[in-house]
């Protein structure tokens, strides 16, 4: 019962929160020094990048779930997560490139974070190509779960090694090197609201895409 | 049966080697592919002076694509010959995986030993740090063999074959590829060899090996 | 004592149901025949018994006394003869058997190999220097039987083992299967041959859909 109520509330909550975030980004957040109004792009870019990574993590997680219990529902969740992840990673890449062009004058310069997100894009592409190439459902579920987990092994490299290989222009994440918060409270609040909104949007879409087929799920 | 895992690996390796020696088309294809790529690169550059970093990248691109042309065969050949079922009935998973991995590594090292001297000759490169170069080659080949064997097993039964292997390989192997290029550039004299890259590559190879070993069981035994 | 249990097993491919609601319990020491016309799923049933695939619904499990056999443990206890089984075409019969049995930890010396070839009716001098890729289908079938016999497996899964064999060969299969059952092995035998079916202790009939 609780689940049904939650499921009905979620789209409304997402819609409301999205409206609030858009309002905050365009009418409340002050222009940043140096970046001016371009900073507003970041409030879409960062949550999208976050969801790209989250969707990858969840896709691997549900893949592991399939390997453990052989439930086709886990496979469908894993696939849905990867498909959404691809959409978000493309949006994050494009918004990042636009921001890069506006502030540094070039769309692409193989900045570490651009490299990271590009690898993520490749993984999503590879995962979905593999799915499309596997005709038999159970074999497809098994094989794609294994690939999701195997490609997840690149994560430590993407996070720790790549930033050392290349010099970065990318602004540090919310928490900078010294560990202190280096942000205007209004901006921080807006960013956190944006992150929450994108996460809820992801959760809603992932479960919605498998919801209808739940009853005919194979054991 | 525990002590027989080495025995099993050895059996699989020798079987692959014997079959490979009796049917040289697979080997020939891989080596000729490498030679062709190398010739293309060399001709395109026409002996112009190229900076070390670009040279290193070219060498690895040649190696990577030649490896892609050979490494995906370890399971695909068994699949087309129909022997995969036989192997699944009789072969324990780890012996099969590790035996095939070892054979792939052996092939790739041969390939690297074939292509690298030719490359150095054609491009007129002087190697400032030969040990670093060979260490990088060995670690790079190990990574490709470890990831390639698992991914070759993944792609059996796919309806589209051509290209799928490379598509799946590239993101997983980039963590080997990028430091390998940096190290090779260093060995070609661009300066700034970072020893920790070698350590990093070795560590990532190990991660790939362990990951492949754990995940392969799920492919070999369907339940 | 090994038991294979089929509980409400249904299998389908791409939405086409092959068979449904199969319930059976197979025990070691018996020959169970699987009968049914072409396409009724005999081979599929054998693969399910070996757990090479999972059914769309229901459960297949293999038990030794009260302990379930799974994965590597189950795999090492069974052997199969099926038309899909192939030997390495560029290895000789001896090399093929040495490799496959070696993976199970079984070594085959010269005397044992000679005896085995005699048992399945292959002339050793004829096959010594020939790759199995050049074998006739009948010779290949006999070599499959040799691998099965030498493996010492407790579970035999036979898919039309008499196919491609002459009268003597069919006789050999019947004799070996009976002896294996008497030795306490579990034999599951897919067949369309009335005589082979009659030799079995129990039967599963697949009606086909």
Which one of C58, C102, C150 would you mutate to disrupt binding with B, by most B Cβ within 10 Å of its Cβ? C102
B199 has a pLDDT exceeding 70: yes
CA–CA distance, C209 with B167 (Å, rounded to integer): 41
Chain centroid to CA C114 = 22
Model pLDDT, residue A180: 46
Model pLDDT, residue A3: 62
Which residue, B175, B161, B164, is CA-closest to B79?
B161
Determine what percent of chain A falls in helix, strand and coil, rounding each to the nearest 5. Answer: 80, 0, 20
Q: Do B158 and A119 touch (CB under 8 A)?
A: no
User: Of A25-34, B56-65, B129-138, B157-166, where does mean pLDDT reach its minimum?
Assistant: A25-34
Residue of C70, C84, C95 with shortest CB distance to B82:
C84
Q: Do B217 and C151 touch (CB under 8 A)?
A: no
C102: which chain B residues are within 8 Å (Cβ-Cβ)? 7-8, 11
User: Of A145-154, B87-96, B146-155, C192-201, where does mean pLDDT reach its minimum?
Assistant: C192-201
C66-118: pLDDT as tens digits: 888 888 889 999 999 999 899 999 999 999 999 999 999 888 889 999 999 99
B156 to chain C, any CB pair closer than 8 A? The answer is: no
At residue C186's C-alpha, the angle toward residues C185 and C191, to 5°, is 125
CA–CA distance, B24 with B28 (Å, rounded to integer): 6
A182 falls in which pLDDT band (50, 70, 90)?
low
Model pLDDT, residue A174: 46
Task: Please tell me whether residue A150 adopts helix, strand or coil conformation.
Answer: helix
H helices of A38-184, in order, are 39-69, 72-104, 112-133, 137-152, 155-156, 162-165
- φ, ψ at B174 (rounded to 5°): -55, -40
Which strands form C57-64's sheet, in the order they lie side by side? C16-27, C2-13, C57-64, C67-69
B164-198: pLDDT as tens digits: 999 999 999 998 988 899 899 988 887 766 778 88
Residue of C53, C86, C100 with shortest CB distance to B81:
C86
Which residue, C101, C139, C84, is CA-closest to C117?
C139
Select the highest-mean-pLDDT range: A152-156, A176-180, C91-95.
C91-95
Residue of A119, A143, A161 with shortest CB distance to B171:
A119
B209 falls in which pLDDT band (50, 70, 90)?
very high
B163 falls in which pLDDT band (50, 70, 90)?
confident
The interface predicted TM-score (ipTM) is 0.90
Residue A5 half-sphere exposure, CB side, CA atoms within 13 Å?
2
Which one of B218, B221, B222, B223 would you mutate to disrupt binding with A, by most A Cβ within 10 Å of its Cβ? B218
Task: Please tell me whether residue B23 adopts helix, strand or coil conformation.
Answer: coil
Model pLDDT, residue A35: 67
CA–CA distance, B201 with C60 (Å, rounded to integer): 44
A158: which chain B residues are within 8 Å (Cβ-Cβ)? 175
Query: Which tops the pLDDT comparison, B196 or B116?
Result: B116
What domains does chain C contain, in order, with CATH numbers? 2-205 (3.40.50.300)
The set of residues, in sequence order, having a beta carbon less than 8 Å from that of B117 and lying 6+ positions away, is: none
Helix axes B93-123, B195-220, angle to 10 degrees: 140
C118-157: pLDDT as tens digits: 999 888 888 888 999 999 999 999 999 999 999 989 999 9
Select the highest-mean-pLDDT range: A124-133, B117-126, C188-197.
A124-133
B218: which chain A residues are within 8 Å (Cβ-Cβ)? 67, 142, 145-146
Element (H, E) at C80: strand C78-81
CA–CA distance, C188 with C159 (Å, rounded to integer): 8
A19 has a pLDDT exceeding 60: yes
Model pLDDT, residue A167: 61
Q: Do A156 and B207 touch (CB under 8 A)?
A: yes
Full-model pTM: 0.89
Which one of A133, A139, A158, A166 would you mutate to disrupt binding with B, by most B Cβ within 10 Å of its Cβ? A133
Residue of B12, B86, B95 with shortest CB distance to C87:
B86
Model pLDDT, residue B31: 87
C59 to chain B, any CB pair closer than 8 A? The answer is: no
Average pLDDT over residues B32-45: 87
A147: which chain B residues are within 8 Å (Cβ-Cβ)? 151, 154, 168
Q: Are C36 and C207 in contact (CB under 8 A)?
A: yes
C8 to chain A, any CB pair closer than 8 A? The answer is: no
C29-71: pLDDT as tens digits: 999 999 988 888 889 999 999 988 888 888 899 999 888 888 8
């Amino acid at each position: 019962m609780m689940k049904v109520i939650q499921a009905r509330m979620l789209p409304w909550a997402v819609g409301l929160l999205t409206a609030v975030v858009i309002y905050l980004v365009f009418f409340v957040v002050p222009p940043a020094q140096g970046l001016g109004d371009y900073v507003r792009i970041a409030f879409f870019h960062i949550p999208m990048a976050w969801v790209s990574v989250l969707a990858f993590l969840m896709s691997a997680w549900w893949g592991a779930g399939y390997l453990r219990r052989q439930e086709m529902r886990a496979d469908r969740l894993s696939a849905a997560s990867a498909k959404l992840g691809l959409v978000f990673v493309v949006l994050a890449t494009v918004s990042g490139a636009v921001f890069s062009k506006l502030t540094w004058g070039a769309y692409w310069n193989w900045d570490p974070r651009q490299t990271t997100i590009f690898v993520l894009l490749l993984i999503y592409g590879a995962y979905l190509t593999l799915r499309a190439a596997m005709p038999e459902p159970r074999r497809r579920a098994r094989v794609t779960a294994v690939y999701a987990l195997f490609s997840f092994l690149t994560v430590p490299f993407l996070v720790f090694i790549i930033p050392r290989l290349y010099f970065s222009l990318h602004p540090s994440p919310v928490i900078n090197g010294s560990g202190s918060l280096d942000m205007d409270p209004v901006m921080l609040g807006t960013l956190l609201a944006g992150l929450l909104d994108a996460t809820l949007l992801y959760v809603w879409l992932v479960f919605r895409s498998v919801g209808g087929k739940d009853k005919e799920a194979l054991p | 049966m525990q002590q027989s895992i080495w025995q099993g690996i050895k059996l699989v390796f020798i079987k692959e080697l014997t079959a490979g020696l009796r049917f040289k088309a697979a080997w020939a294809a891989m080596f000729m592919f490498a030679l062709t790529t190398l010739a293309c690169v060399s001709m395109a550059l026409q002996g112009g002076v190229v900076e070390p970093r670009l040279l290193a990248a070219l060498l690895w691109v040649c190696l990577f694509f030649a490896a892609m042309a050979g490494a995906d065969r370890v399971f695909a050949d068994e699949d087309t010959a129909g022997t995969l079922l036989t192997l699944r009935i009789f072969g324990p998973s780890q012996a099969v995986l590790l035996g095939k991995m070892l054979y792939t590594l052996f092939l790739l090292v041969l390939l690297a030993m074939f292509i690298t001297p030719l490359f150095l000759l054609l491009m007129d490169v002087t190697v400032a740090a030969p040990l670093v170069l060979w260490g990088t080659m060995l670690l790079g080949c190990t990574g490709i063999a470890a990831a390639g064997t698992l991914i070759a097993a993944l792609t059996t039964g796919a309806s589209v074959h051509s290209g799928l292997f490379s598509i799946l390989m590239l993101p997983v192997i980039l963590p080997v590829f990028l430091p390998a290029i940096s190290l090779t550039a260093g060995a070609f004299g661009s300066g700034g060899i970072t020893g920790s890259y070698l350590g990093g590559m070795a560590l990532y190879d190990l991660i790939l090996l362990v990951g492949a070993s754990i995940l392969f069981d799920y492919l070999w035994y369907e339940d | 004592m090994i038991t294979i249990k089929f509980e409400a097993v249904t299998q389908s491919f791409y939405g086409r149901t092959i068979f449904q609601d199969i319930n059976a319990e197979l025990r070691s020491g018996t020959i169970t025949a699987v009968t049914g016309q072409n396409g009724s799923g005999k081979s599929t049933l054998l693969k399910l018994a070996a757990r090479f695939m999972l059914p769309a619904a229901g459960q297949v499990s293999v038990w030794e006394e009260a302990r379930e056999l799974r994965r590597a443990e189950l795999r090492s206890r069974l052997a199969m003869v099926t038309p899909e089984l192939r030997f390495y075409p560029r290895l000789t019969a001896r090399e093929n058997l040495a490799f496959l049995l070696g993976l199970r930890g079984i070594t085959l010396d010269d005397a044992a190999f000679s005896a085995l070839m005699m048992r399945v009716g292959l002339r050793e001098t004829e096959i010594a220097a020939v790759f199995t890729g050049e074998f006739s289908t009948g010779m290949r079938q006999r070599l499959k039987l040799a691998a099965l016999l030498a493996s010492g497996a407790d579970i035999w899964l036979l898919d039309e083992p008499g196919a491609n064999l002459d009268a003597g060969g069919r006789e050999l299969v019947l004799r070996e299967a009976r002896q294996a059952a008497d030795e306490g092995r579990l034999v599951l035998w897919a067949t369309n041959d009335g005589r082979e079916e009659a030799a079995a202790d129990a039967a599963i009939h697949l009606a086909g859909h």
